[in-house]
Chain A
Amino acid sequence: NAGVMQNPRHLVRRRGQEARLRCSPMKGHSHVYWYRQLPEEGLKFMVYLQKENIIDESGMPKERFSAEFPKEGPSILRIQQVVRGDSAAYFCASSLVLAGRGELFFGEGSRLTVL
């Protein structure tokens, strides 16, 4: 069983460019979460999606950031016009359900560096 797959693992962008991060959840999982981790910090919730729906985007910056989880294909986190402060590790996680002991299974993260 393949785990949560994220790509790219490392991405370098110059200020003003766009970054696209992809996440394929574990087989059968319909809940996808994106988290951001700044250096020396914990994980901060960004967005929670189910297929074709954004359920909770309360952690997403109001501008430049968007996320989608289409009916077919991976979930995409898109950052437009990146700035240096966007440099971070972005983790995707998936679950069957989160209730009870349903845990989040994390990908290995995508590390974005903005020059």
Chain B
Amino acid sequence: AQKITQTQPGMFVQEKEAVTLDCTYDTSDPSYGLFWYKQPSSGEMIFLIYQGSYDQQNATEGRYSLNFQKARKSANLVISASQLGDSAMYFCAMREVAQGGSEKLVFGKGTKLTVNP
């Protein structure tokens, strides 16, 4: 079963507008963490933002904010005032604890964001 679902293969946004990238997750663990990473065309993975399952407030990092709706199991990324440099693949990930205590990040398939001038 897919643990992280990103339903938008591609998204387009005009420069300076806001955009929301969707992410839903599936876990029965009461303690978990959610991450967003950006992958530009150059290929590196850049950490953007983190949300803990017990965090009382939605995470924010500059122009990035996370719309965390725990009951709906969604953790959507909101990018405000889009810039041309925001064009990239965006991946949602969840920290998963395996048997034996091993922890790893499980990634969604990603959303390709294109910012138009």
Give A residues with C-beta under 8 Å from B.
Answer: 33, 35, 41-45, 48, 55-56, 58, 89, 91, 93, 98-101, 103-109, 111
Contact = CB atoms under 8 A, between A and B. Distances in A.
B109 A98 contact: no
A101 B35 CA distance: 9
A48 B43 contact: no
Q: What range describes how many residues of B lie at the interface? A: 20 to 34
Residue from B44, B45, B46 having most chain A Cβ neighbours under 10 A: B45
A105 B108 contact: no
B98 A58 contact: yes
Contact of B91 (A42, A105, A111): A42
Contact of A98 (B46, B91, B104): B104
Contacts of A103: 35, 47, 50
B100 interface: yes
Interface in B88-107: 91, 93, 95, 98, 100, 102-107
The interface centre, meaning the residue of B35, B44, B91 with most chain A CB atoms within 10 A of its CB, is B44
Nearest to A103: B47
Nearest to B92: A42
Contacts of A106: 37, 44-46
A89 to B, nearest CB: 7
Given A42-B107, A43-B91, A98-B103, A108 B44 contact: yes
Contacts of B42: 108
21 contacts: A41-B109, A42-B107, A42-B108, A44-B107, A45-B105, A48-B102, A55-B102, A56-B102, A58-B98, A93-B105, A98-B104, A100-B33, A100-B52, A101-B50, A101-B52, A103-B35, A104-B35, A107-B44, A108-B44, A109-B44, A111-B43
Contact of A108 (B37, B43, B91): B43
Nearest to B105: A104
A99 B103 contact: yes
A89 B43 contact: yes
Interface string B66-89: 000000000000000000000000
A45 B102 contact: no
A97 B91 CA distance: 21
